[in-house]
């Protein structure tokens, strides 16, 4: 039987291949250090868990909740934007709570896309950015992921050569997987371009609070006039180590927020009320929990860069996110990121995410997630050191083959 139209457009997850190898190595007793998936390992702060437990005892919270988010939660998100970015949001019309930012993003794509609409999307990027639109019948035009001088000329080319003219542009800074960060000046240029060409901006700011070296990333909504064209997604998953709770937000342009809220009103009844109340309490707190989460990732980042560097693998320090975007060491680069990642599981007992899983332009890289403790990151570096030191002899059949690819 032929595969369904939509399913045919969703290739098997590349990461699954590494996961399978990892599972099979573990079942034979290997101690795999898992730096593959971006799944935070830190517990949710106790005060947030306590709040959930308190609220869940009230049976009134067991009924269907509010699809757009309870008013207190939307007010808390608006207050966060005012405090953190100096951006004023109307919680009634410019904020909608989502079941994690991934759900919000995918349903926004569903809400705004007509068949064949062109959407400009970074490559490499977090898969839902492209596949949310592909599932909605859209067409992707790949864009560079780096927010550098080449970006606006690339946008101009994309608009000139796409028929129909692109509907939307996806931005994701700090980026998963590249960890690139955008400046406010960059956003100003992009917003000016989008306003002039009537293009929607969808900004994924999931890593708003996971930044290092004292440089908080800006919001696109800080640009005057951005509210006319932009909507921005944030997430509680990384900021408060709440990935399993499924809580995120879309904020910004009223028409876009209303479109998402309308679609969601048909699909869900909102997150469980105790989760929404606990999330509101987290957003209203003094930020000490956020600081703690940030400093754990900061220390892990420093250990990773230093220990991998000593092992002979020079990984540029990411300025933000919980990921390092690491160029594959030279002799292995021709293998491609999937084969190299498999080799790392089998020969070094370390799992990473192959860059190609984020798009074809990621294939010279792997993404290393800071989701194991410092001791385990050092352990990974030691076995990678052994792997790199001996690969020339033990893999003499693999490396020359790779070079001929």
What is the binding site for ligand PLP (CB under 6 A)? Answer: 38, 100-102, 126, 172, 176, 204, 206, 235, 237, 243, 248
Give the separation between CA 329 and CA 306, rounded to whole angstroms: 16
Please say which residue, 124 or 402, places its beta carbon nearer to ligand PLP. Answer: 124
Please say which residue, 279 or 381, places its beta carbon nearer to ligand PLP. Answer: 279
Q: How far is the CB of 44 from ligand PLP (least distance, A)?
A: 13
Q: How far is the CB of 59 from ligand PLP (least distance, A)?
A: 28
Could you identify the residue written with the tokens 């309870």? 70
Q: Which residue is nearest to ligand PLP (CB)?
A: 100
Task: Give 365's contacts (C-beta < 8 A, 6+ positions apart).
Answer: 124, 177, 325, 326, 327, 328, 337, 355
Q: How far is the CB of 122 from ligand PLP (least distance, A)?
A: 10
Dihedral, 206, 208, 211, 217 alpha carbons, nearest 10:
130
Please say which residue, 357 or 378, places its beta carbon nearer to ligand PLP. Answer: 357
Tell me the C-alpha to C-alpha distance, in Å, between residue 246 and each of 9, 320, 323: 26, 22, 20
Q: How far is the CB of 176 from ligand PLP (least distance, A)?
A: 3
Please say which residue, 104 or 138, places its beta carbon nearer to ligand PLP. Answer: 104
Please say which residue, 204 or 209, places its beta carbon nearer to ligand PLP. Answer: 204
Q: How far is the CB of 237 from ligand PLP (least distance, A)?
A: 3
Please say which residue, 69 or 100, places its beta carbon nearer to ligand PLP. Answer: 100
- Tell how strand 230-235 and strand 248-252 pair up: antiparallel
Could you identify the residue written with the tokens 């926004």? 108
Cβ pair 113, 137 in contact under 8 A:
yes
Give the separation between CA 212 and CA 200, rounded to whole angstroms: 30
Q: How far is the CB of 357 from ligand PLP (least distance, A)?
A: 12
What are the backbone angles phi and psi of residue 134, rounded to the nearest 5°? -65, -40
Please say which residue, 94 or 235, places its beta carbon nearer to ligand PLP. Answer: 235
Q: How far is the CB of 249 from ligand PLP (least distance, A)?
A: 9
Q: How far is the CB of 41 from ligand PLP (least distance, A)?
A: 13
Show the tokens assigned to 331: 């002799």
Residue 353's Cα: distance from chain center in Å?
A: 13
Could you identify the residue written with the tokens 């709440």? 242
- Tell how strand 230-235 and strand 200-204 pair up: parallel
What are the backbone angles phi and psi of residue 324, rounded to the nearest 5°? -110, 140
Please say which residue, 110 or 335, places its beta carbon nearer to ligand PLP. Answer: 110
- Surface-to-core class of residue 58, CB atoms within 10 Å of its CB (0-12 exposed, 13-18 middle, 19+ buried): exposed
């Amino acid at each position: 039987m032929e595969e369904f139209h939509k399913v045919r457009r969703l290739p098997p997850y590349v990461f699954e291949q590494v996961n399978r190898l990892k599972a099979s190595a573990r079942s034979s007793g290997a101690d795999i250090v898992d730096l593959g998936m971006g799944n935070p390992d830190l517990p949710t702060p106790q005060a947030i868990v306590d709040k959930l437990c308190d609220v869940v005892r009230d049976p009134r919270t067991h009924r269907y909740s509010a699809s757009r988010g309870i008013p207190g939660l939307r007010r808390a998100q608006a207050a966060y934007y005012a405090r953190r970015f100096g951006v004023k949001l109307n919680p009634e019309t410019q904020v909608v709570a989502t079941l994690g930012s991934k759900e919000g993003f995918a349903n926004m794509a569903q809400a705004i896309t007509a068949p064949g609409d062109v959407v400009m999307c970074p490559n490499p990027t977090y898969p839902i950015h492209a596949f949310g639109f592909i599932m909605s019948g859209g067409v992707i035009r790949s864009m560079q992921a780096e927010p550098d001088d080449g970006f606006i000329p690339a946008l101009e080319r994309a608009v000139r050569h796409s028929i129909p003219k692109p509907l939307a542009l996806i931005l994701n800074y700090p980026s998963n997987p590249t960890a690139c960060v955008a400046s406010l000046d960059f956003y100003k240029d992009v917003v000016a371009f989008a306003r002039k060409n009537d293009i929607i901006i969808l900004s994924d700011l999931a890593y708003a609070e996971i930044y290092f070296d004292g440089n908080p990333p800006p919001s696109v909504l800080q640009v005057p006039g951005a509210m006319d064209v932009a909507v921005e997604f944030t997430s509680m998953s990384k900021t408060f180590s709440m990935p399993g709770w499924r809580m995120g937000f879309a904020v910004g342009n009223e028409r876009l927020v209303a479109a998402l809220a309308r679609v969601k009103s048909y699909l869900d009844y909102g997150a469980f009320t105790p989760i929404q109340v606990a999330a509101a309490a987290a957003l209203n707190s003094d930020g000490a929990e956020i600081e703690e989460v940030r400093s754990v990732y900061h220390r892990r980042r420093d250990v990773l860069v230093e220990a991998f560097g000593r092992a002979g693998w020079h990984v540029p320090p990411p300025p933000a996110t919980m990921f390092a975007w690491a160029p594959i060491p030279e002799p292995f680069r021709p293998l491609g990121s999937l084969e190299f990642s498999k080799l790392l599981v089998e020969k070094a007992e370390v799992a990473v995410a192959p860059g190609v899983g984020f798009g074809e332009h990621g294939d010279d890289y792997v993404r290393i997630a800071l989701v194991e403790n410092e001791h385990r990151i050092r352990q990974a570096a030691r076995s990678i050191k052994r792997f790199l030191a001996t690969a020339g002899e033990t893999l003499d059949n693999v490396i020359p083959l790779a070079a001929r690819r």
